[in-house]
Amino acid sequence: MKIVMKPSLVFLFALMSWLLLLGCGGVEKNVPEENAAIVLAAASTVEAMNEIVDQFELQTGTQVVLCSGASNGLARQIAAGSPANVFVSANQQWADAIIESGIAEESTPLLTNRLVLVVPKGNPARVQQPSDLNSDEVRRIAIAGENVPAGIYAEQVLRKLGLYETLVSVNKLVRGSDVRLTLTYIERGEVEAGIVYATDAKNSDGVEIVSEFDPQSHDAIVYPVLLLNNGIANVMAKPFYEYLKSDEAIRVFESHGFRPAR
């Protein structure tokens, strides 16, 4: 017997498959509604975004599916045709790639962040300043991947300080696939130091901030939010895009250490 699936079931099956492939949390137990807004957000925003999604769902009675990860990977998923409606990127470069491809309907600078040097709790290698990264006590330093925004900024800082080539030559740098994995390496004491966003350090009980890098030593850390073309047909995507820019949402971001870009 031939089984014919209704268009809505075909859509939901395809959506579930894509969300599971991307690793979006919770979809195994909570099947997305057909009109759910699909939001891709940089890993560094996940705690704040979870709070904002909860608030929005409570106020509107609708569903938002949140997926987080490295901005470069999320941007590639969007370019490959993912059904995402809204994208929060951790840098302008990957947002620009989406805009230039004609996939975005609107874009707004949303947040800013800072870059910090952090160590595991207790600072076992006694790192006091960036130049200490060259010391013999520091064997491994965690930064995010070379195409990940946090990794791009970290490399810019290390080059500006004249440290990058030396650290590479002695194989001290350990790259995380996103800033959250980078932070995990530091929290676990698998490295003696690392470079992450100030917001990640603020939300962690397992690291100590040694110093904040001069914003002039790296590109401006700006988080744009994009309403994607797929969001035009989704009745909740534009309202959620606008909600992210609201005072209520900005207060949540600020409570996690972000600063508004406006």
The tens digit of pLDDT for each residue in 131-155 reads 999 999 999 999 999 999 999 999 9
Report the C-alpha gap between 262 and 196 in whole angstroms: 23
The response to whether 179 counts as a known ligand-binding position is yes
Cα separation values, 221 from 51, 152, 214, Å? 22, 10, 12
- What is the per-residue burial (b if ≥16 Cβ within 10 Å, else e) of 100-126? eeebbbebebbbebbbbbbbbeeeebe
* Helix 179-187 / helix 149-160 crossing angle, nearest 10 deg: 70
CB 197 within 8 A of CB 143: no
Residue 47, SS3? helix
The response to whether 204 counts as a known ligand-binding position is no
Pick the CATH number of 115-217 from 3.40.50.2000, 3.50.50.60, 3.40.190.10, 3.20.20.70: 3.40.190.10
The set of residues, in sequence order, having a beta carbon less than 8 Å from that of 22 and lying 6+ positions away, is: 67, 69, 77, 82
The response to whether 150 counts as a known ligand-binding position is yes
Q: What are phi and psi of 50, to 5 degrees?
A: -60, -45
CA 3, distance to chain mean position in Å, is 41
Beta bridge partners of 101: none
**Domain boundaries 7-112+221-260, corresponding CATH code:** 3.40.190.10
Give which of 19, 15, 75, 64 is closest to 38, Cα–Cα: 64
Scanning the structure block, which residue is given the tokens 């820019």?
245
Specify burial of residue 148 (Cβ count, 10 A radius: 0-12, 13-18, 19+). buried
The response to whether 169 counts as a known ligand-binding position is no
Tokens read off for 40: 């891709």
DSSP letter for each residue of 180-191: HHHHHHHHTTSS
Q: Which part of the chain has CATH 3.40.190.10?
A: 7-112+221-260, 115-217
Tokens read off for 197: 């966003």
Report the C-alpha gap between 1 and 243 in whole angstroms: 47
Question: According to the model, what pLDDT value does residue 35 have?
Answer: 78
Cα separation values, 158 from 130, 143, 148, 229, Å? 9, 10, 15, 37
Question: What H or E segment, with its residue span, contains residue 11?
Answer: helix 7-22
The response to whether 27 counts as a known ligand-binding position is no
Parts of the chain with a pLDDT under 50: 1-14, 16-18, 20-21, 25-30
